[in-house]
Each structure stands twice: as structure tokens, then as C-alpha cells.
Amino acid sequence: MNTFVAEGANVAFCARSAEEVAAVEAIFADSPSTVIGSVLNVRDAVALTAWVDASAQKFGGVDVIVANVSALAIPDTAENWVDSFEVDVMGTVNLVKAALPYLEKSDAPSIVAISSVSGREADFASGPYGTAKTAIIGYIGGLALQLAPTGIRANTVSPGNTYEPGGVWSSIETGNPDLYSLALGLNPTGRMGTAQEIASGVVFLSSPVSSRTTGTNLLIDGALTRGIQF
């Protein structure tokens, strides 16, 4: 979000925690951009659509959407399969559907969905999480082809291990140090990525600077994955 604001964008965001929403809004209280947070569970398609409509009304339209939500449901359980489908996959699909009428009116419309290296290759997160992330890449790729004649671009960003204080890998570092050491050791750069490094790629794909880029899956993983991407 910092990077969008730094580029002068107005931002509407949502999260489930009222405290987290208020904390983020406070960070940008004195920003020249308008940053508005809402408490929302993206499983609720009706509420999600209403949020998009309200945001469009507030800002006079929608130019960019970023689908960046995940249940982070890694263990192979029946509940996690449902969570991954309803949150990761349908949360993305329903956001796109709600935003399309506004994107069609934009001069520089863009859709970016956050996938993962786990959606590109088999790893410890294969199962509910990895399969959902693979589905997102496929969905956005098809969307890019369908929407190309309208000028709406659609891309995915697939981060590798990304370390953020208080984030997933931060908790794994203390809660499961063996897994953390294993994952860290797989990174040829000797470190995990940062949120800023991922955000820069997202903002690039969102902006008119990347006007010829659509249907791509941008890996930001420090050479973590080994496959050649054709």
C-alpha cells in the first residue's frame, strides 16, 4: 500500500480485523492520498460487491484492483480445501466480477492477483494452498485473453518466501525453526524477500508503465524456483 500511495494513488483496502484496519488508516492519516479501510470477510460475495461499489462511488471509479487475500490453509485437511477455495479462489473471482463494470470505464484498467511460487511448482505447501494458487494463475491467464480487446490487463505476481516482521515466516521462524531453516536454505540469495520487493512488482504491473504486459505470471523469488518459464 505504501508504494501505491507513494505514486499518488487513492487506496481502498479491506481486512477482517477492525483494529488492523484502524491502525493502517492512522499511518496514512496525513498522506496527500486518500486511504480508506473497511472491515470485510471476502467469503461474503454480497458484502465484497457492496464494498467495491462504495469504493468506486467514493473515488469516482476504479482503475486498479489487487486481489491479495489467502486463507493460508496449508495442511491437507477437508476444512482447508474449503477455506482455500472460498477465500483464495472465489475471493479473487468475486472481486474481479464486482470491479469489472468500473474497470471497463477506466482509461488505464488493471487487475493483479497475488499467487505464489507454490502455485507454480510442487513444494511443502502443495495441497489446498498450492492448488488454489495454481488455480489463480490459470484464472487470471484466461481472463487476460478474454479481456484483452477491452483494454483491461490482468496479471499475477508469484512471490517466493517473503519475510515481514509479524508475518507468516516470522511466526514460523520461532514456532517451527526447522521448517524456517529449510526454507531459508532453499533461497540462492541467502535471504528471503521483503514486502517492498513484492509491492514494487505489483505497482509496476498495475500502472500504465506496463501497458503491454497482460497474461503474465511475474515471479519475484530471488531464483528460488528452478523451472524455465516459457
Catalytic residue ranges: 115-116, 129, 133
- Give one DSSP letter per residue of 195-218, joined into a string: HHHHHHHHHHHHSGGGTT--S-EE
- Cα–Cα distance, 204 to 189 (Å, whole number): 23
* Closest alpha carbon to 105 in 139, 43, 158, 150: 150
136 to 93, 114, 131: CA distances (angstroms)? 9, 8, 9
Which H, E and C letters describe 137-175, residue by residue? HHHHHHHHHHHHHHCCEEEEEEECCECCCCCHHHHHHHH
Q: Are 143 and 136 in contact (CB under 8 A)?
A: no
92 phi and psi, to 5 degrees?
-70, -50
